[in-house]
Amino acid sequence: MAGDKETLLSMGFDSARVEWALKATGNRGLQPAMDHIIEHEGQPVPELSGVNESTNSRVPMDVDDDEDAEALRSLGVVAGNAVEAKKSIKCSECGKIFKNTALANFHAEKSGHDQFEESTEEIKPLTEEEKKQRLEELKAKMAEKRSKKAEVEAAEFKVNEAIRRKAGKEIGKIKEDMKLKEAMKEAEAKKREKIEDARAKAAVKAQIEADKKARAEKAAREKALRDGQPLTATSSAVPATPAVASISVASKDFKETRLQIRMATGGQPYTTTLPSDAPLREVAEFLAGQSLAIDVDTVTLTQQFPRKTFAQADFGKSLKDLGLTPSAVPIVSLVYQTYRPNIGPRYSLQARLDRKPSKCINMCINISHVFDGISRRHSCFLCASVRVTR
């Protein structure tokens, strides 16, 4: 604004710096321009075309800043809405004299006084020395305000930093408590699994002992029959107790089943945990997802103890019904389909059986007969080439 520029020029500031400050602050007022001049004092004045004008809205100033701005304006040119130079406005409550209505209104807003009257007293204009002294006082006052503001910001930063550290410690403590609880849960789960495994092993061991005793009694009865001796009454209720224990353990409701699947060809076993109600087919699908050599429709699973082989008909049954809970170690066997060449109907089976092995088509060694269930074919031991003798 023209009034701000004239005020700054009347204070003795360079015209180029005044224009730079007004353009840099976007003509937001006398106070921002004054701050810009003081902050960039001693720096070279850039080209005005390269200075970016501030697009921010006018920053609201507090009461003290408004008072300083009005005081700065009072040092320079009086605005067009000022009263005549020979007149002034006097506050009837405190006796202060103001040069124009703007200063009187500002005093009324700040102090709450509402009794004013026109006065014929003329306010003496400030001399150059008084203007410089007043300017220095205003600069010192603004510097003090900035210092206090910096102290307040530093105190707020310390408080915020303390709050942030406290929150970080609390979050860290919460994470540690959660880890401790998870570790305790895992320990309890492992302990429970060990107890369940021990019970299952004890039940299986008791069943084995009962089976041994039953076989021994059966052998004794057969021997007595062969020797013509009378049969002695044996306690058939003795093996019933471990059987009941085995049934109770097997029938216990285990929610999950741990499987350690081994390949019949060797290699690293596969470990997984499935729901006890899941069908056996999910185990085959899990294996098919781990290795491309496994086909769901041809793979077979075998349990070592008790010895049992699960065929395709068992894939629809649950792991619980098949007795694989709570844990099992099945062995996977792969079924490979034998290649059967189309040899045609003109070669009879007897003619092929009477033929002796001949040389391999690759001239490796003599090829031998390999019977595949339908026809006898020749296969080389080295190159695995197949050839039917005529």
The model's confidence at residue 266, banded by pLDDT at 50, 70 and 90, is confident
Residue 2: the pLDDT is: 62
The model's confidence at residue 369, banded by pLDDT at 50, 70 and 90, is very low
Per-residue pLDDT, averaged over 102-107, amounts to 82
- Calculate the CA 228 to chain-centre distance: 80
Query: Between residues 366 and 101, which one has the greater pLDDT?
Result: 101
Determine the angle formed by the axes of helices 30-39 and 15-24, rounding to 10 degrees: 120
pLDDT over 50 at 313, yes or no? yes
For the stretch 85-97, pLDDT in tens is 446 888 888 888 8
Query: Between residues 37 and 240, which one has the greater pLDDT?
Result: 37
Mean pLDDT computed over every residue of the chain: 74
CA distance 133 to 127: 10
- 330, 284 in Cβ contact below 8 A? no
Residue 87: the pLDDT is: 64
Residue 54: the pLDDT is: 56
Residue 65: the pLDDT is: 55
Three-state SS letters, 51-64: CCCCCCCCCCCCHH
Q: Write the CB contacts of 251 (distance below 8 Å, at least 6 apart in sequence).
A: none
Residue 160: the pLDDT is: 93
- 19, 61 in Cβ contact below 8 A? no
Per-residue pLDDT, averaged over 289-301, amounts to 82
- DSSP E strands: which ranges in 102-187? 116-119
Domains of the chain: 2-141 (no CATH), 255-333 (3.10.20.90), 349-387 (no CATH)
Strands 88-91 and 386-387: unpaired
Per-residue pLDDT, averaged over 304-333, amounts to 82
The model's confidence at residue 80, banded by pLDDT at 50, 70 and 90, is very low
CA distance 193 to 255: 12
Amino acid letter, 214: A
Per-residue pLDDT, averaged over 153-159, amounts to 93
Per-residue pLDDT, averaged over 323-349, amounts to 60
Residue 81: the pLDDT is: 39
Query: Between residues 379 and 80, which one has the greater pLDDT?
Result: 379
Residue 233: the pLDDT is: 53
CA distance 7 to 18: 10
Highest mean pLDDT among 98-102, 247-251, 376-380: 98-102
For the stretch 130-153, pLDDT in tens is 878 888 888 888 888 889 999 999
Residue 95: the pLDDT is: 83
Q: CB neighbours (10 Å) of residue 132?
A: 14
pLDDT over 70 at 314, yes or no? yes
Query: Between residues 151 and 73, which one has the greater pLDDT?
Result: 151
CA distance 36 to 236: 108
pLDDT over 60 at 75, yes or no? no
CA distance 27 to 32: 8
Cis before residue 345, ω within 30 degrees of 0? Answer: no
Per-residue pLDDT, averaged over 42-60, amounts to 65
pLDDT above 70 covers what percent of the chain?
Answer: 69
Per-residue pLDDT, averaged over 173-189, amounts to 92
The model's confidence at residue 287, banded by pLDDT at 50, 70 and 90, is confident
CA distance 214 to 184: 45
Q: Which of 23-32, 49-58, 179-188, 193-202 has the lowest mean pLDDT?
A: 49-58
Place of tokens 């496994």: 294
pLDDT over 50 at 250, yes or no? no
pLDDT over 90 at 156, yes or no? yes
Cis before residue 32, ω within 30 degrees of 0? Answer: no
Place of tokens 């004239």: 6
Q: CB neighbours (10 Å) of residue 260?
A: 12
Instruction: Give which of 280, 276, 278, 271 is closest to 301, Cα–Cα.
Output: 280
